[in-house]
Structure 1
Amino acid sequence: MRTIELEDNQVKLIDQTLLPTEAKFVKCINVEELARAIEEMKIRGAPALGAAAGFGLAITVMNSESTKPEKMLQELKNAAGRIRRTRPTAANLFSALDRVMKTAEQNAASVEELREAVVEAAEAIAEEDIQVNQKMGENGSELIEDGDTILTHCNAGSLACVDYGTALGVVRAAREQGKDVSVIATETRPLCQGARLTTWELQRDDIPVTLITDNMVGRVMSEEKVNRVIVGADRIAANGDVANKIGTYTIAVLANRHEIPFYVATPLSTIDPQTESGGEIEIENRDPKEVTTLAGQELAPKEINVLNPAFDVTPAELITRIITEKGVFKPSEIKSLFD
């Protein structure tokens, strides 16, 4: 199942806020609707946001009535600016915008050439995501042994990408090789992406999955029920520090305590060589209501002070290996890929 695609000059995407009770696709007819879909988490996951960013620029030119390339370029710059303001942490969103805008500026001899180049660049980002994830899955599956139980946090499956997935792509590849692999999924508060999305994906693929609350991780590790941890990433700094869904750092500390390998599966497009360390990564802070309510039910007193960072940073020294489409690396080797 593709999470997002271009269709009839619109962006078609699955509304992930409705899962697991309803699998419904919605269409965004302009960049403002797409930007709101990103902000409202109808689409999420770093690779999927990269595809969304590219498609946002594509529908801008597809629906533009400009007759001059310079005017169309300005429309693209405005659209890119709006998308940049949606979510600050996911690296793929920004790298996709930069890639498509560079292509646009290099092909602005006419509106026809500009339109074609932008759409092709956006489609290429989406198609490459699928190929990259499959290769990443193959590379990561070599780290998986028959009979392993893998703990994952948040959702790093096909819903977080265009298709196949990063962390769950490794699990899928191992299963395709005939390995008996099962998954423990954390609920991932406050928006429960693990409970709502990861379990839904794995059930559809007939991959055994057990759901736990976030505060059970130490318990299941101490009972030796976890062989490895595999998570995705939203941005990786040059030194190998990883920004991922809030709670990832806690799991990495526990995995280190229990001597359990901790892997991060991510495409190279999520690595930001311009950011030296995790301390420089901008962490998105979201609406306090995500913490104080659940399915419309109040969980806390009104006007209570709330912290709601969407991500945390796991230091490189807690990460065993980083799995990419180019191979499996130590965190300290990441920067050399871009030198």
Structure 2
Amino acid sequence: MQDDQTLKAIRYQRGSLSILDQLKLPDQSIYIPINSVDDAWKAIHTMSIRGAPAIAVCGVLSLAVELYHSQSKFDTIASVQQFVTDQLNYLITSRPTAVNMTEGAQTIIDYLIPLSNKQQDLSQYINELIVFMEQFLERDLADNHAIGQYGAKAISENNTSHKKLNILTHCNTGSLATVGFGTALGVIRQLQANDNLELAYFTETRPYNQGSRLTAYELVHDRIPHTMICDSMAGLLMRTQPIHAVVVGADRVTANGDTANKIGTYQLAILAKHHKIPFYIAAPTTSIDLNKKTGDEIVIEQRPSKEMTSIKGVNIAAEGVQVWNPSFDITPANLITGIITEHGVFKPDELEEKLLSLRKK
């Protein structure tokens, strides 16, 4: 059994960053160093690290590390600003569907000028910029705990049977997809902590098996009662077993509540609607993109065919077969019961108004 450290997707201290290589899980727990933005881009693109919140934090901290070790190459604050802007725009291209990296990049870019108005010393400017970037780490962890608490409360209050709850989730949304605790899996963790969880069902999540490789790894580690199912078993599960809620994460939520998440989410939402099971999205507000009005505006990433035709390098499909492999699908807002954020649980049709009100505060 691994110690708690193995469940941290990201290890960071000033000037040093490493990530748990999720391509090696569950067989090996290996941390790989991230010494530059280029290292982070490759790790994100190849899915050595994945999960929208973790992608953003990894990207931002990789820039903090590179800034820390290359301070001497800058001679003006303007040169720092140009470097930071270019590197952040590059990181955004690593996995374009997840909005958190874009959101994080814009937050930092918006901070560059106000910081220069406050701090004129070059060395101090870089130091304060690094401190600002490091705050992404603690903020994500705090947001996840809040999501867990709000989600567990909403689902428990919706339970009229007064029995412990069976929850179904999809993909991996736990400590390995975030800085820690998780979003949808964080809700499950909180239900367990509250002694309200009977069983966590989760899909294997083909084609990349984030469920069987990663969610299983976390649930076994935390001794949370669980059962894994194949993706194609969800309908029968809902018909024959008491499922009290489906909770999944999000890579991007649009202003109207449409949600991009791991492929297979849409069909779970349809099945939940048919079986009258509440369907929740658990995501920090950094995953909500108010610049896009509906899910039709989201670009869906296409992944390599080998992810479907092989597992761990072993071919499982007929040679030469043609493949369609979208990494995400869009779940329409009308299939979503609520969106669990660090500020509370919102209905899709009130999401934009609530968020704009929060951002004005």
TM-score, with structure 2 as normaliser: 0.91
Change (3 A) 1:61 1:290: same
Instruction: Find the counterpart in structure 1 of residue 142 from structure 2.
Output: 131
Query: Is residue 244 from structure 1 mapped to residue 261 from structure 2 by the alignment?
Result: yes
Instruction: Find the counterpart in structure 1 of residue 113 from structure 2.
Output: 105
Match of 1:120 among 125, 131, 134: 131
Instruction: Find the counterpart in structure 1 of residue 74 from structure 2.
Output: 66
1:153-185 CA-to-partner distances (Å, cap 9, x unmatched) read 000111111000000111111111222332111
Which residue identity lines up with residue 17 of structure 1 in the other structure?
L
Q: How many residues align?
A: 339
Distance 1:272 1:256 in 2: 25
Instruction: Find the counterpart in structure 2 of residue 265 from structure 1.
Output: 282
More displaced, 24-33 or 137-146?
137-146
Query: Is residue 88 from structure 1 mapped to residue 105 from structure 2 by the alignment?
Result: no
Match of 1:166 among 183, 205, 224: 183
More displaced, 182-191 or 141-150?
141-150
Give, in angstroms, the shift of residue 90 of structure 1: 0.7
1:51-85 CA-to-partner distances (Å, cap 9, x unmatched) read 11211221231122223222222221221122111
1:209-237 CA-to-partner distances (Å, cap 9, x unmatched) read 11111111111111124221000000000
Distance 2:109 2:20 in 1: 26
More displaced, 221-230 or 83-92?
221-230
Which residue identity lines up with residue 136 of structure 1 in the other structure?
I
Q: Is the 8 A contact 1:186 1:213 kept in 2?
A: yes
Distance 1:42 1:110 in 2: 37
1:264-323 CA-to-partner distances (Å, cap 9, x unmatched) read 111111111110000001111111111111111112233322111100000000001111
Instruction: Find the counterpart in structure 2 of residue 6 from structure 1.
Output: 12
Instruction: Find the counterpart in structure 2 of residue 200 from structure 1.
Output: 217
TM-score, with structure 1 as normaliser: 0.96
Q: Is the 8 A contact 1:68 1:110 kept in 2?
A: no
| RMSD of aligned Cα (Å) | 1.4
Distance 1:118 1:92 in 2: 19
Give, in angstroms, the shift of residue 7 of structure 1: 3.2
Distance 1:46 1:110 in 2: 34
Instruction: Find the counterpart in structure 2 of residue 50 from structure 1.
Output: 56
More displaced, 16-25 or 69-78?
69-78
* Runs (5+) with no aligned partner, structure 1: none
Instruction: Find the counterpart in structure 2 of residue 39 from structure 1.
Output: 45
* Runs (5+) with no aligned partner, structure 2: 1-6, 357-361
SS in 1 for 2:164: coil
Q: Is the 8 A contact 1:53 1:93 kept in 2?
A: yes
Which residue identity lines up with residue 267 of structure 2 in the other structure?
T
Distance 2:186 2:319 in 1: 41
SS in 2 for 1:158: coil
Distance 1:87 1:183 in 2: 29
Q: Is the 8 A contact 2:21 2:29 kept in 1?
A: yes
Which residue identity lines up with residue 148 of structure 1 in the other structure?
L
Match of 1:314 among 327, 331, 336: 331
SS in 2 for 1:83: helix
1:101-150 CA-to-partner distances (Å, cap 9, x unmatched) read 22233323343233122211221111011111111111111113541111
1:216-266 CA-to-partner distances (Å, cap 9, x unmatched) read 111111112422100000000000001000000011001111111101111
Give, in angstroms, the shift of residue 8 of structure 1: 5.3
Change (3 A) 1:110 1:286: farther
Distance 1:255 1:38 in 2: 31
SS in 2 for 1:230: strand
Query: Is residue 283 from structure 1 mapped to residue 300 from structure 2 by the alignment?
Result: yes
Match of 1:220 among 226, 231, 237: 237
Distance 2:171 2:199 in 1: 16
Distance 2:339 2:14 in 1: 38
Distance 1:128 1:49 in 2: 14
SS in 1 for 2:187: helix
More displaced, 121-130 or 273-282?
121-130
Match of 1:328 among 345, 350, 355: 345
Which residue identity lines up with residue 133 of structure 1 in the other structure?
N
Query: Is residue 337 from structure 1 mapped to residue 354 from structure 2 by the alignment?
Result: yes
More displaced, 67-76 or 276-285?
67-76
Which residue identity lines up with residue 215 of structure 2 in the other structure?
T
Match of 1:20 among 22, 26, 31: 26
Give, in angstroms, the shift of residue 92 of structure 1: 0.7
Q: Is the 8 A contact 2:243 2:277 kept in 1?
A: yes
Q: Is the 8 A contact 1:239 1:331 kept in 2?
A: yes
